[in-house]
Structure 1
């Protein structure tokens, strides 16, 4: 159960109602994250404006934006964001394997791998990414527009991860499948092929 109020649309004040109407027109509903963020109209408005601006950016495509979100959510242990972005990731065309790879800060091809690894390094280093890692991201075909947008998406997702972790927001998306651990993967391999991995 959420530790913060999740404002019901029918109980919203005029400012909250205006923002909820905009959200509902795009998503068809108001997710619990946004209902909880509505405790501060300023926070909700800021989140919507920042995420809206980033969704119109040219540095990352929709799949790459979801890869960043999944990498960051896994790093921060945010169950709400893992569920939400696993669902959204499928909607923009990420396969279950691509979603799992992103959660492991990896990818299914050179481009997605570069995005996930760079986002993971931004989180891990708190932005103090080494020249070698920045050069590797650029070598994968990304320019400074993409570098800036990865950092912006990391920041946006850290905000929602921390908020959801604190609020314990009720998850209103299908739960994200747990990642297989190396130990369970080795056991599955041993059972399937008889090896001693």
Structure 2
């Protein structure tokens, strides 16, 4: 059971209703995560704006962004986000096995492994990545914009993970266990 009430479209105030309607229109449903975050319009709107800005200007594929989200969600212990991003990853062409591997920080393609290694280093070391980790990412062909994008993805995904870990909304996707 959710530790904060989930705000329905009918009970949403004028500061969050447009954002919730946009999410519902885009996804075909209103995930409990967004309805839980709607308690604070600024946080919800900032999250949506950051998510949109990172996605629109992304140097990574949708599949790469999803495997990063899966690795970060699993590391943060967020079952809600692991479940939701497994579904999103499948839609982006990631196999069920590759999604499970991503949760464990493993990727099939060497370039994707570099992305996961850096994302998890950023998360675990709170941005204080070693020169070796940064050089390995650069040696693998990641440019500065991509390095910054990865930090942005770790940040935005961690925000959603922590929010869901605090609120504990009902998982409204097929449930996936942490690895």
Q: Does 1:6 align with 2:6?
A: yes
Cα deviation digits, residues 51-71 of structure 1 (max 9, x gap): 011111232221111111111
What is the TM-score with the length of structure 1 in the denominator? Answer: 0.88
How far, CA to CA, are the matches of 2:82 and 2:25 in structure 1?
Answer: 23
- Give the 3-state SS of the residue equivalent to 2:47 in structure 1: helix
Q: Does 1:93 align with 2:103?
A: no
Cα distance, 1:75 vs structure 2: 0.6
Cα distance, 1:74 vs structure 2: 0.7
How far, CA to CA, are the matches of 1:142 and 1:18 in structure 2?
Answer: 37
Q: Which one has a bigger Cα radius of gyration?
A: 1
Cα distance, 1:5 vs structure 2: 1.1
Cα deviation digits, residues 12-50 of structure 1 (max 9, x gap): 112221111211221111110000000011111011000
- Look up the match of 2:40: 40
- Look up the match of 2:51: 51
- Look up the match of 1:175: 175
Structure 1 runs, 4 residues or longer, greater than 3 Å off: none
How far, CA to CA, are the matches of 2:79 and 2:54 in structure 1?
Answer: 23
- Look up the match of 1:108: 108
- Look up the match of 2:17: 17
Q: Could you list the runs of 5+ residues in structure 1 that have no partner in the other structure?
A: 180-197
Q: Quick check: 2:77–2:178 contact (8 Å CA) kept in 1?
A: no
- Look up the match of 1:122: 122
Cα deviation digits, residues 142-193 of structure 1 (max 9, x gap): 11111001000100111111111111111101111453xxxxxxxxxxxxxx
- Give the 3-state SS of the residue equivalent to 2:69 in structure 1: helix
**RMSD across aligned positions (CA):** 1.1
Q: Could you list the runs of 5+ residues in structure 2 that have no partner in the other structure?
A: none
How far, CA to CA, are the matches of 2:130 and 2:26 in structure 1?
Answer: 39
Q: Does 1:134 align with 2:117?
A: no
- Look up the match of 1:151: 151
Q: Is the alpha carbon distance of 1:58 and 1:168 closer, same or farther for their aligned partners in structure 2, counting shifts above 3 Å? A: closer
Higher relative contact order structure (alpha carbons within 8 Å, sequence separation ≥ 6): 2
What is the TM-score with the length of structure 2 in the denominator? Answer: 0.96
